[in-house]
Structure 1
């Protein structure tokens, strides 16, 4: 049913729950797992004046490398044979949708961040925008905190 599964991750607890689901699905369907971390261009542009944008971008890239490497190791330990890692700069939902299309992914597994009310209205949601724009199914995984509310 699924040949290529994309799991975007930022290393957060909520994304980590989605990673667990994606690894299980990739193992179950013997699918190639694509692990993507996006270096958000907006984070670089909003850095403190005392820190250069290059320093911020380097720090974000190093964190992304660590996150995708950890997920790849976990997937391989769980028996997933084919794992592809990628770190891309840009606006997260744009990158996720484009990556899924360019790599013929047939499922995206993403965590939600549980934004509600004014914060969600003002900031929007990467997951929500991905769901609305994606040509492939998007499995959203809620955090345990959201389930308790």
Structure 2
């Protein structure tokens, strides 16, 4: 039924708990898992306004991408040890938009989302990624707490 499951992660505590539940579900004969991290370009825009970081610098020095790949690979290894087939992706953009685009363009049959990943202030500024994905997704979405 669900042969291609998209699991977007921001590596938050909520995402970690959702990953642990996915490990528990590994015996349910679920299909391929795609771990997706979206680098939120809005954060870099705010940082640029505050002279903290230039938008293109994170791409040039590659440290952020290396660290994200390291984290995704660690999660992939853990899920594969539980018997799951896993691939990883990194995109940049606005998280809910990139999640929906990836889902539509890659034959995803289910989106599995942690229900909370950001703090209160960030949620007020940015909005709820999960809420937007739930409203706009063309495929089934499961929220994990």
- Give the TM bin, normalised by the shorter chain: 0.7 to 0.9
- Give the TM-score normalised by structure 2: 0.83
Change (3 A) 1:27 1:84: farther
Alignment match, 1:147: none
Give the aligned length.
141
CA 1:128/1:16 → structure 2, altered by over 3 Å: closer, same or farther?
same
Question: Does 2:118 correspond to 1:87?
Answer: no
One of 36, 50, 55 as aligned partner of 1:53: 55
Return the offset for 1:68: 1.4
Residue 115 to residue 16, structure 1, CA distance change in 2 (3 Å)? closer
Aligned CA-pair RMSD: 2.4
Task: Assess, with a 3 A threshold, how the Cα gap between structure 1 residues 107 and 23 changes in structure 2: closer, same or farther.
Answer: farther
Q: Could you say which structure has the greater relative contact order, defined with CA pairs below 8 angstroms and 6 or more residues apart?
A: 2
Structure 2: gaps spanning 5 or more residues? none
Distance 1:114 1:72 in 2: 19
**Where does the alignment leave 5 or more consecutive residues of structure 1 unmatched?**
143-149
What residue number does 1:132 align with? 135
